[in-house]
Structure formats: C-alpha cells, structure tokens
Structure 1
C-alpha cells in the first residue's frame, strides 16, 4: 500500500506500526521515525525564525484574511500516486485541513484515493485512533497498543499515593495559551493537576495576571523541540521566581497525537516526581 501522510502524528503512527517503508509522501514536520525517505509535499506558509509573538500575530492575520497556513505541492502528491491519504480536520493551524486535501485530490485526478482523517480530541481517542488508522492501512495495532497500556500502568503504579502539584501548563508563551485536547490528561497521568485547562477542547489565550499561582510550570510550546522550550522557559521562570519550571519537547511528546505521548507522560512523571523515578 502506498501511503501519503499529511500529518506528523500519522507518520509517526505508520512508523510505529512497522509500515514506514510504505510512505510515499510526508510533510516538512515529519521527523519520526528517523530516516524517512518519502518526498515532502506539505510545507509551512510561515517564515522560519519568527518569534512566538510574531507567529501568533501572523497566524491571526492569515486566518482573518482566509489564507492557508500550509502549502500543498499538488504535483508532487500526484506523482506519489498514493492508495490512501492520512489527514486531519482537528486544527487548521497545526496541519493541513482534510477538506483542503480532498479538494486538491479532486483537482489532480485522485478523487478515488481513500482519505482517512485522524481527529482525536482526548487521550483515549488517540489510542482508538491508532487502532482505526491501523485498520485503514491493513496493519496490526494490538502489539503496539498493548505495550503503550503496559507502560501507562507502570506509571500509575509508581505514582500511587504521591502528592500531585498544581501545574500551570503553557502551550504557548507569547501570549500565554492554556492547553486543551489530550494535554491536560497527559499532565494528570504524569502526576500533576493542570490548572484551567480544557479537556477535549481547544487551547485558549489568557492574560498572565488572570493565572492562579502554580506550584510547578510546564513549558510546552506547540511545535517546538526541547531547545525551543528551554529558550521560552527563561522568561516564564522570571515571572514565577522560586517555582520549578519544566520545559519539554512538545513537538515530540505533547502535541503530536502519536505513540510518543506515552513517552511524554513518562518524561513528565520523572521530572515532576524524581523521588519515584530517579
């Protein structure tokens, strides 16, 4: 099967299911599993090197003007000749919307291609979505899901009876955004209580002065790696002197709805409860 994955999370899932060699098209953000050789057919419409404030302003301006956040190379997608296209309709800022993909497929004569939309809102839906995606590409999901659930049970057992600090989780820092979708549950599973987060809903902008004092801050800027999170953690730490600040590679372990969310839970649990994990 020839698979075009237009979402980093689905690329990661395809790899975890042992089908990376079937990928014939990916996006510029698809960096896992390492060593992907498939052509890039989706690129960002934003300039590199922008600050978080500049990105936020540009995204708002483009959305207001009805401009896309991503560019799809239609000819490259046609040349890839996929049997199935993996896409999403969860967030037009985070990835190319499925409706745009469907329109493009029709324009380039690939309207008969199977389109599978991956749109989880909660952590449980991520796991269910992995199983559904596996079925769409003819893969077996049971071994992967069994391993993920085993690791989750190990974290639960290690945290039994452990005090849980109130955690301010920042999905963006300029302006500050509180997380939604599956992120609050990740934090709870890691042994903290996320404040003012929206389970299953969208992240939302807030004012710094409206945030209650936290016992720990988790800096998880959407799409940034660890170095980017560390850079943004500095100004946040100055706002909360004496409060532990934990930056995390959000692009790999928090906002990408794939198997490595479980690794994100493990990483956060170790950071928040070193006495239990070392």
Structure 2
C-alpha cells in the first residue's frame, strides 16, 4: 500500500529508480538504494551523493521527455502531483509508488512499504525503529509538563501562511509539547490573516528560516504580539528537517522540543 492508499504491483525488484521528490530521494538513500537512482528532481539535494544523480528538472512543470529518458522501472513521487502520476501510469505505462507521509505514524508505515517495494524492508524497519525510539523518548520527556506553549509557524510571509492539521509541522508541535494555534485550520497549509494571529497571540513564533525570523521581529503590526515582545521568535536552522518527510525529521522534532522547552533539554 503506497501513500495514496493504492496497492502497487511490482513484478521484479526495481533496478532503475526515478525519484520525483526530495523526501523520497533521502529515504531511498537511507534504505541503501541510492545506487539504483537513475534520476531525481532539482530539489533533491540531500545527501550529497544525490547531486551525482542526473536531474530531470522540476516536477512543476514536469519534463516528460527527460523523465522517460531515464527508463525507470519504478517511479517514486510525492502525492501533490496526481495529474503527473496518472499520466506516467496511464499514458507511459510506468510503475509509480506514492510516498507522502504527513505524520510520524504515516512515516513509519510508508517507509516500510517503500522498503518492501525496493526489497529493503529490513533496512526500513531498522530505520523506523530508531526514529520511533527517539520520538517516543522526546514525547515521554515533555508529556509530564503542564505548560504547553501556543505556537505559530510561518511558512511564508506574503500571503501569510502557516502549517495546519495534516502537516508534519503540526504533528511535531504536538509531540514536542506545544499547541499549534492553527491546529483547527481547514487544511495543512492555510492562509492565515494578521487578525487571526493577533487574536491567537502565540507564546512562540517559528519561521522557516533565520532570515524570516529576523524579519518578523521588525515587521509592522506584529510588535504587539507576545512572542515578538518577549523575543521568542525562532528560525528553523534548516527547514528541510521539518518539511521533508524522511529520516531527518527526528532532527526537526528534537529542535522543536528544545525550542519549546529549553530548560527541559538543557538549552
């Protein structure tokens, strides 16, 4: 079962894998299948060895000629491109596996499923066990604490957008002992008005980069926010560790936990 809830039939162990998503590329390398990659997107930049794999360009829009030139026997891609997936399957007859976890529970299941698809189930189960152990340890540490700071995560400043339910960031904030002010939004990446933000008045604001965090501290109209007044505005040191659903996500969770509860983690 892939990330789109489909049964994917793979007749033989894939030898030529095309990755159309950074998270898929990272996961395939972690599974020991990086040497079978025949193509990647421009966004697939980790691990460093991925840069040696030929790029087929961007997925938005896709370059079908370059994609087909890789002659893949398996395509692993993200779910946000249903039209591309259907064309690859129906028009070009390619086998496509969707890798699109949006929570740690989904990550565990889909990583094992991808491992099964590329004959690396044992490696996938070992990685999942390691990630799950770290996640459980962090959660156990913050669980007894009654203080659950309200958090706003800025994805983009204009239009102001955030992370809502169905996003990995929402899951991370919860596990790290925080409360996402956009936790009841309509979708995973909603637009959020300044009026909504002022009403929520979060204790902590997190931005996708250090530069955006610095901008927030001097942004007109935001000076009355509690997080700005108290200097509790933080930039993720590397946004990839909180937005790419792969093996490095536990680093992002650890960063969130240490940022939300610095005394607990000796920061």
TM class by smaller structure: 0.7 to 0.9
Alignment of 1:117 onto 2:98: yes
Aligned to 2:67: 77
Alignment map for 1:15-164 (pairs within 5 Å): 15-36=29-50, 37-43=52-58, 70-89=60-79, 91=80, 97-104=81-88, 110-111=92-93, 113-140=94-121, 141-162=124-145, 163-164=147-148
Q: 2:161 aligns with which of 162, 172, 177?
A: 177
Q: Distance in 1 between matches of 2:75 and 2:189?
A: 27
Hey, what's the Cα distance between the residues in 1 that align with 2:186 and 2:193? 22
Shift of 1:2: 1.1
What is the alpha-carbon distance in structure 2 between the residues aligned to residue 41 and residue 243 of structure 1? 43
Q: 1:256-267, aligned counterparts within 5 Å? A: 256-267=244-255
Q: Which residue of 1 aligns with 2:9?
A: none
Deviation of residue 200 (structure 1)? 9.2
Shift of 1:88: 2.5
- Residues 20-72 of structure 1, C-alpha deviations (whole Å, 9 max, x = no match): 1111110111011222221111327xxxxxxxxxxxxxxxxxxxxxxxxx132
Superposed displacement of residue 175, structure 1: 1.9
TM-score (norm 2): 0.81
Q: How many residues align?
A: 236
- 1:175-214 C-alpha deviation (Å, 9 max, x unpaired): 2212132221101112211112258933111211222111
Q: Counterpart in 2 of 1:168?
A: 152
Structure 1 position 237 matched with structure 2 position 225: no
Task: For residue 101 of structure 2, give the secondary structure of its aligned residue in structure 1.
Answer: coil
1:57 aligns with none
Please give the alpha-carbon distance, in whole angstroms, between the structure 1 residues aligned to 2:184 and 2:49: 35
Aligned counterpart, 1:55: none
Equivalent in the alignment of 1:11: 25
Preserved CA contact (<8 Å) 2:210 2:235 = yes
- How high is the TM-score relative to the length of structure 1? 0.78
Aligned equivalents of 1:125, 1:199: Cα separation in 2:
20
How far 1:106 sits from its partner (Å)?
5.6
1:87-124: CA deviations, max 9, x gaps? 132x3xxxxx14214425665xx41x311112333331
Point out where structure 2 has 5 or more consecutive residues left out of the alignment. 1-14, 223-227
CA distance in 2, matches of 1:208, 1:169: 13
2 CA distance for matches of 1:247 and 1:14?
Answer: 28
Q: 1:129 to 1:250 in 2, by over 3 A?
A: farther
More strand as a share of residues: 1
Q: Within 2, Cα distance between the matches of 1:190 and 1:199?
A: 19
Residue of structure 1 equivalent to 2:11: none
Q: Which consecutive residues of structure 1, in runs of 5 or more, have no partner in the other structure?
A: 45-69, 92-96, 221-228
Runs of 4 or more consecutive aligned structure 1 residues displaced over 3 Å after TM superposition: 104-107, 198-201
